[in-house]
Structure 1
Amino acid sequence: MTRAFLLAATACLISQAAFAHAFLDRASPAVGSEVAGSPPALDLTYTEPVEPLFSTIQVTDASGGRVDQGTPKPLDGGHVLSVALKPLLPGVYTVEWHVTSVDTHKTEGHFTFTVKR
């Protein structure tokens, strides 16, 4: 009985730790998507609130030129970071993000989206 209790308690602690990071939940434009026109902004939604002062989003074109404008703005209680975009020409764009959740855990990732011709 004691061993089963310890295993269950350990599983609960591990699952709580797994949720202690802000992971990317969804993006607009979506990860890997093709969009018909130039989006005015990129919105990244995370699984928990992030600290905007310690979070960055960079959007680059195929030649590595930055197309994001300004610092990311927090929305929806810090679950969303939004960054304005310059007018985008057709092509592939790379998004690289680094965030710190409000409980100080850091996560990062990258993805692409395409603006169609």
Structure 2
Amino acid sequence: MARRPLGQLEAEVLAALAAAGGPVSTADLRARIPGEPAYTTINTILFRLHAKHLVTRVRQGRHYLYRLAVDESRLVADRMRDHLRHASDPSSVLSRFVQSLSAEEEDALRAVLRRSGGEPEAPA
């Protein structure tokens, strides 16, 4: 099995927690992540996320149940902004990002830009 890029598994764990909608165990979370990562790997990621205050946990018997402690959309947006801030050419990065969007994602972006005043209304 190919190794994931650094940070990708953490992002997948956060996304799986957001989709779960409630507290989940490490074993349940592991089953939600493609590629069959090791239980200990998921547990390590969860401990790190807990230390960063991105997840909360409650003890249930000998194990913990985990829940996302932050808004997923804000978390992802913050990561995107960090990547742009460190790019030598942010405009080029944004251009490539927009070119990679599906039609539905592009429509959603246009709607957000219209609501925020960043794009003129489309002609009728």
* TM-score in terms of structure 2 length: 0.24
Q: Which has the higher strand share?
A: 1
Q: Which has the higher helix share?
A: 2
